[in-house]
Structure formats: structure tokens, C-alpha cells
Structure 1
């Protein structure tokens, strides 16, 4: 529940995904302009696209070559439909080449012996419908093929220093193409170009807002959950599930039953803090279930990250199924629905199987609430935030009056500390060591006034020991890695540049207060190439 095509009262930009690593950024840029956008597979049907009555269609980039057998194509009849219904089309990189090839132009391998164009490139644009002036601008290129001849009616409005055709247009039918990526921040006028295309060319108004999302999701919850139905909500203690619970509670009231599972993988005093927050600030009825012993028994001996995530996801569901049985004895019927705080980045990284909207993307990891769900799931899911990013969820939370101090909490993964202990979670004192180190790290960040400047910060327990000197004696103790990142939506992230004073202080505190740790390291990897969490 909560998919994009259910959000009906808005201008829709449909993005056909051909596997580009930047496809999700196109969605972000549209939403930043207050325009609703959704991603569907590049080889979806025209009928599926028509369901959304798109005002604009964008063809994403991708790793394929349009002239190679088996390369992804546009849905049959798409260009004819867009032309007849005056729906502007923008092809980006592979999308532009696909437009050219399909409409009668030609595309071939670029620059024999020289390779393609990658990274920062200066291009020259012409004053046209797409560009407002003759000028040079720096863009981000990533292509190995190039357009050789244009379809009838198209003209060249941008070229690279090598003479590559990098921008084309046919204003008569509303079709445009860019060989570069306007959606990435490395393209200096990318947002300006997208804004011009969406507002000036396509005539969109930019009227989509989080209030629209809230109103529509409450209506959908009302329509799906009958007047006698009861609903279980899985609360993790994080922002996402709390906002989802608050939304559903506003829709159906006391027929919502929130469950917080202590899985034995929580942070320092997390159980007490979370229950206090829900009761005193969010005023949500919550049942706390202690499943820590069962969870740790289930995880014993598991070292592979994917295996751990799937095991955690399955056991969570089993606990909710058992709770549903208890409720049935009280209310006379078993709850059919389960609310989860699933977000769009969870869906993107878990990369669901064919039939979802991310067919051409690659799996990064299975989030416990997406790819980690058991196949025999007995609940119907209600996921009102499934197509939103973290910052959008926080905006909806603010609309509903969720306290600011709660909305500003750093993300905490559903699998908890299991994905911050590399290897077997149950080995030795790993959980106790990590809890204390993480608490010291977080409290030091708050003390230095840095908490709100950071998207997410946490400690990681490494499966190695190092030699040290403590109390004039040789030690062979654990190593803790610290991670802190800045991000807007969790899709990309940069490591936070702590100054030396902070790093010196937090390292000293951890090594002095956690006796079995003698070395602290700081992770300076961005996303990509790394992910935010280590597992």
C-alpha cells in the first residue's frame, strides 16, 4: 500500500528506469521542485503508464548500448501516445539515445580508439527552446556511445569539445534529449535546466506537497481498513515507524495496536528511552515484547550480512503473528494488516523482484522490512511512507505535530546493532562493548553541539584485535570504528569532517571507559562507494 500510482491528485512525472545509478536523483530533483515523480521499469507497458496520466515522461540513463541486441526499449506506442496527448518527453543519456534510435536516427560507439566521455565536461549550448542562451557550461558525462544522425524534425542545441551531440530538441512534438546528467550536482546548471523543462516547457505548476501526501494516505488507509478491522504497527523506535504509526492512528484511532520488539540488538538504554517517548510525547498505545533471547539464539553462528538481515526480518514477523493471535482472543478477530515505516531508499537498495518499479537496478542489501520479509507473510502491509525519502517523512511528521526532538533523531536500522557488529553478533561481549562505545560517541557529539549537523553517526564493532599499551601493559583488545555522515536522503552521503580536537577526545573516552577497546578508527568513506551502514 502507498505506491506512487495511488497518489492521484497531482501532476505526475513518470520516470522510466533503464538502470542508471542516478535514476533516483531525477526523482529527488522533481520533488525538490514540488512536483510528484515516480519510477517505473523502462520496459513497463503503455497501459501501466496511462494509469498515472503523466504530464511528463523522462527516460533515464543506463549501462546498455541501444544498438546491441536485447537492449531495453521504450514501451510500445509510448512516443505516439506522448505526441498525441502533448506529453513532453526528456531523454537523459541512454534515454536520449533510445529516443534517437527509436524515432529513426542512429547511435554508435563513440570515438573509436578514444573511448567515451566521462566526468566533468564543458559543453556549448545554443539559444533554443531548451536553453535560454548561447553559452558554455560544465556538465557531468558518463557515456560510451554517441548520436550520429538525428530523427526527422530534431535539431542539435548542444555539443561537446569533441563535437559530440549532447543536447537535441524537437519543440514541435515536445521531445528533448540530453547526453549528460542534469540531475547530478556536478552539472552546474542541471537544476536550472530541469526546472526550465518542467515549468516553462511542460507547463507544470509545482503544487505537490507533503500535505497532499498526508491527506491522500489517510484517505487510502480509510478505504483499505474496514470499520471493524484492527491493525498492528511495528515500531522500531525510529522516526519512520513513529511517523507511520501516527498517520495510521489519526486515520483509525484505537484500532491501531503498536508493538515495540526488544530484539536484544538495541542501543544503550534504548528500550526505556523509546517507551518513554511513545507514551509521554507521541501518546501512542504501545506493547513492548521481549524477544531478545529468541533473536540472539537465531543469530548465533550467522556471519553473512544478508543472512543476518533475513533472519531478523523473519523473526520480527513471527513475533507480530503471535501478537495477532493474542489480540484475536481479546477482540474476536485476527488483525489482517501490519504497518511498517518502510522508506523509498529501503525499497531501492533492497531491489525487489520483477514486477516492482526498480527492475533494472542492482540490489545493494536486503532491508529487513523489504527483502528480509518471509515468503509466507500472513499480513497485508500498510506502508504509507514507502515512496518517500527521509527528509519528506520528517516534514509529514512535523505536519502531524510529532515533537521536533524526536524527528531530528539519527536513523537507526531495524536490524539494530546486528549490522554494526561485523560477523557473528553473539560472539563474546561484542554487543556490550559496542553499546557502551556507541553511547560515548553519541553523547560526545551532543556535548560538542554537532548532533544536528550530522545525518547519522554510530560506532561499529570490528572482528579484529590490535596490540596496544594501557596502564604500562601490553593489551590485545578490540577495535571500534566510528562513522558519521551528512546526507539529504540517505541515497548518497559524505563523511563528516570532525576536527582533530573532537576525534582526540572521543577516542580517548572510548579507550579509557571501555576496557576491552584499545584502538579507535574513523571511517572517511562516502556513499558511494560505501554504504552508510557497514552491513
Structure 2
């Protein structure tokens, strides 16, 4: 690894990815490792910093994830966050107890002057707390550096050994100076150089791809989303016409999206573009299926079946490439904490499917496998990919298949495509598009009674969803002006066949998720 490395050890916290993203935003390359990664393996990676994540457990419960005390003897600065904070205390001889009064949400803390973690941070600031245990006694050699009304050790440190711990979550935006605190840890404590730069990433990756691929061919499974598009851009820059992109249009994309993808890639890149239209095949496989996870697996499996069948027609050795990004690997259960401290697999990613044994490649290329989504977008812009494509809103791998609740039919796809297009058009015209991080329509498996003219109708309900968020870990429903909602509702019921009712989802995350399935 040419870049300096910060390791995030995952103890099952829901913000493990967010911590790593924040570190990278500070210009330091960061990877997430399991909490039980062997010490020798960590030492071999030669990190400049180690961060312990939060987690849902209690350190005094011996079935919870723990770590060897040896981690503190390898000479690398350590920062413990939330559960990680308690783990630092417990492992080094401090004491952790259950809170008489738990802290959750925005809490004001006061810190002592002189701590490098709080350099240039106001003496009083608001942070995000989420804990039911607390450090009642810090280990020998440590000093308490911050406290809240109900938490006597909101932060503590052993500055000489460069061990730091904070009970709150500096990585979330609710902690108003949290990113500054992380920056201070990385630069003031660890002496990081800030050598993680996207321009360098592109240059190094293209050079590496050219060396790896040589004069061989590459086949990329193109979904039309941001990730595979940027992967295609990198590969096209590296090897040009040696790249073949196979675009499987399963009929579950947004209105006219397949045509947009084909037009963009045939004009923008020097490559071979192959489009496979197969909506009927997908609909047949999905007939009668309503379970969301089963739908995801069928769509993912069928996508690759169609893809590989096409590849068999043109198979000529070389490499297989895909747009896998770092969160894909983590959420699919690779790289996160194991056992009781593990983060649950929320969904199955469509691009984590094995290749068939009968098709032989010289290897698999995943040029974005270590990047987060915001980093992928930054690379896309620097590659000259159109802004509208790079900044397309997140779209699930199975497409509209998980925005149609219940069984998927051709009629439902048509209704949702039209409804989603109307909603998106009206938001764009309203001038509030930039205020929303994501917005889309959903077709629940619900029909309602309505009246149109003198006739009674019994037709589809459309739910619309719009959120604001800084990190997608938490999200709030967007306060769309009533006049905009009125126009959306009027257009949906008047312009989209088989729609007679519109509802607006006002659920935040948590307790809901952004998508419905």
C-alpha cells in the first residue's frame, strides 16, 4: 500500500462505514477490518492509526467481542469510539458500569483545554451520544478530558502513549465538531500526511490496469448505475477497445433509462457496447414471487445468467470486471465483525455472485473495490463522465423490482415507471431537487376505491418518498411544500393510468429504511 493506512476495527457498530468515510474525507486512506483480525496481520499492514468502532454490546459481558491487550503494544495510536471507548477502558484496567441514566441524541459536553483531540474546538460543543454503559473509572495513566451532565468520562486519554477514547460519535454530522476531532486525531496525534487524493487514485489505477491487462480483453457487466459506469470509465481510459461492456436491460429500470445508458456509453467511451433486452425472461422467473429477499436473489441470479449466456457467445479469455465498491463487500458479510458483535446483513447485493465454472477468465478486476460511493462519484467527475450520470440518485441493484411491493407484473412496472417519471419531473420543475438526497415513487400492493368523473374506480395507490440526509446512515423525510405535493398528486392521478390515490411517506430512518424493501 503506497498510502498511509488507518485501520477501523469493527465491533458491530452501525457507523463502521461512516467512520472510514470520514477518515478518507480527511485525506487518509482507511480500511475496515474484523475486530478479531490477528495482531500479526494488523502489524504487517503497518497502519499509522487504529480506530475501534462502537457496538451494541457490553464489554463486561464475556460473550461480547473483545480484543487482545497486545494491540496496545504495537506502537500505533488508538482511538476508541463509544463501545470502543469502553473497550479501551476495560482492556487496560478501567471500570465500565451500566448507566443509571442512558444518554441518547444530542448532548453538550465540556472539554479540558490542552488535549490534541480538542484542538481548535470550542470548550462546550454538542455531540451525538448513544450508550447505556459508561466508563466509571479510567485506567491508570489516563486523564479525563471531557464530560457531560450524565457522563463523567465523555473523553479520556493517555497522551504519552497516544491512546484516546470518546464516548460519543464524532463521525456523525450531529456531532458539530466531530470531523475536526477526527482530523485532530489523524494529524495532530498520528502525524498523517494526507496522501489519499482522487487524482492520484485515477493515475495509479489506470497504470495498474494497463500493467495487469496487457493486450488481453476485458468484459464488464454494466448495470448503468454510477458504480459500473465509473468502472467502465477507468477501464476505457486504461485499455480502450479491449473493453466490452455487456448491458443487461431486465426491464426494471426507470422510464427510458436503458436508452439513456446506451446513448451515453456509445458516445462517451471507446469500447464495444452490447445491450441485451430480456424483460419477458425476468418477468417469467419472478411470476408469483412477493418476498423481497427472494426477488433480489432471483433478479441477481437471472441477471448473471443472461450476462454469462451472452459472454459464452463471445468468450475469448481475458478478464472479467465489475463495479463492486467497498460497501458492497461489507454489507454482504465480508469484512465485518463476526459473532455476537457482527453487523447484520441488511440486503443481498446483486453483484456478489460467483462466476460459472465453465467460463474461464485470467482473473477478476474490481477497480472500485476499495472506494465508497462519494469517492466513486469524485472519480467519475474527474474522468469526465456526464454530471447527470455521476450524480444520479442511488438506485437499488434489482431496480424497480424492490419498489414494487408484492408480485412484479408488466402492468405494475409500466405504472411505476410512469409515476416515478412524473414525480421526478415535478420535483425538477419545482426547484427543490438540490435540497433532496433521494426521491422516488413506490407501488405498494394496494388498490383503493376512487371516483373519476361519474365512475367508481378500484386502482393502484402510489406512495412517494423523499429524504434529506448527510450520510444515509440516518435520514429524515423531506418537508416538500404543500403546493408541490398538490401538483404531484394531481399529475399522478390525471396522467398515469390506473392510479387513483397518492400518499407521502413521512417516516424517518430509523425506524424505517430509505427503500421500502
The CA RMSD measured in Å over matched residues stands at 2.5
What is the aligned counterpart of 1:62 among 55, 61, 69? 55
Residue-by-residue CA offset, 1:298-336 (whole Å, 9 max, x unaligned)? 1111111111111111112122222222113xxxx334x
1:358, CA displacement in angstroms? 13
1:376, CA displacement in angstroms? 5.3
Structure 2 CA distance, aligned partners of 1:462 and 1:347?
30
Structure 2 CA distance, aligned partners of 1:17 and 1:146?
19
Q: Relative to structure 1, is the Cα distance of residues 296 and 356 closer, same or farther in structure 2, using a 3 angstrom cutoff?
A: farther
Structure 2 CA distance, aligned partners of 1:358 and 1:277?
46
1:439, CA displacement in angstroms? 1.6
Pairs within 5 Å for 1:187-336: 187-225=175-213, 227-328=214-315, 333-335=316-318
Q: Relative to structure 1, is the Cα distance of residues 358 and 283 closer, same or farther in structure 2, using a 3 angstrom cutoff?
A: farther
Residue-by-residue CA offset, 1:161-185 (whole Å, 9 max, x unaligned)? 2352221111111111111111122
Residue-by-residue CA offset, 1:321-361 (whole Å, 9 max, x unaligned)? 22222113xxxx334x3322223343344334879999821
1:374, CA displacement in angstroms? 4.8
Q: Relative to structure 1, is the Cα distance of residues 278 and 487 closer, same or farther in structure 2, using a 3 angstrom cutoff?
A: farther
SS in 1 for 2:443: strand
What is the aligned counterpart of 2:399 among 405, 410, 416? 416
Corresponding residue of 2:3: 10
Contact 1:343–1:387 (CA under 8 A) maintained in structure 2: yes
Q: Relative to structure 1, is the Cα distance of residues 71 and 313 closer, same or farther in structure 2, using a 3 angstrom cutoff?
A: same
SS in 2 for 1:351: coil
Contact 2:78–2:162 (CA under 8 A) maintained in structure 1: yes
Q: Relative to structure 1, is the Cα distance of residues 295 and 123 closer, same or farther in structure 2, using a 3 angstrom cutoff?
A: same
Contact 1:40–1:357 (CA under 8 A) maintained in structure 2: no
Residue-by-residue CA offset, 1:407-426 (whole Å, 9 max, x unaligned)? 23223322121111001112
Structure 2 CA distance, aligned partners of 1:387 and 1:462?
36
SS in 2 for 1:217: helix
What is the aligned counterpart of 1:50 among 43, 49, 53? 43
Does 2:517 match 1:531? no
Structure 1 CA distance, aligned partners of 2:513 and 2:39?
35
Corresponding residue of 2:29: 36
1:135, CA displacement in angstroms? 2.8
Corresponding residue of 1:481: 463
> TM-score, normalising length from structure 1?
0.89
Does 2:431 match 1:443? no
Does 2:386 match 1:393? no
Q: Relative to structure 1, is the Cα distance of residues 222 and 488 closer, same or farther in structure 2, using a 3 angstrom cutoff?
A: farther
Structure 2 CA distance, aligned partners of 1:115 and 1:491?
25
Does 2:159 match 1:171? yes
Corresponding residue of 1:3: none
Q: Relative to structure 1, is the Cα distance of residues 341 and 528 closer, same or farther in structure 2, using a 3 angstrom cutoff?
A: farther
1:122, CA displacement in angstroms? 2.5
Q: Relative to structure 1, is the Cα distance of residues 347 and 529 closer, same or farther in structure 2, using a 3 angstrom cutoff?
A: farther
Contact 1:126–1:134 (CA under 8 A) maintained in structure 2: no
Residue-by-residue CA offset, 1:200-237 (whole Å, 9 max, x unaligned)? 12221323111222233334434543x35322111112
Question: Gaps spanning 5+ residues in structure 2: where?
Answer: none
Residue-by-residue CA offset, 1:257-300 (whole Å, 9 max, x unaligned)? 10111212122222222211111234442101122222111111
Residue-pair matches, total = 512
Structure 2 CA distance, aligned partners of 1:292 and 1:344?
29
What is the aligned counterpart of 1:71 among 45, 64, 67? 64
Structure 1 CA distance, aligned partners of 2:223 and 2:412?
22
> TM-score, normalising length from structure 2?
0.92
Does 2:89 match 1:103? no
Residue-by-residue CA offset, 1:36-88 (whole Å, 9 max, x unaligned)? 11111111112322243111111111111111112212246211112xxxx21
Question: Gaps spanning 5+ residues in structure 1: where?
Answer: 1-7
Structure 2 CA distance, aligned partners of 1:189 and 1:401?
34
Q: Relative to structure 1, is the Cα distance of residues 139 and 354 closer, same or farther in structure 2, using a 3 angstrom cutoff?
A: closer
Contact 1:210–1:396 (CA under 8 A) maintained in structure 2: yes
SS in 2 for 1:462: coil
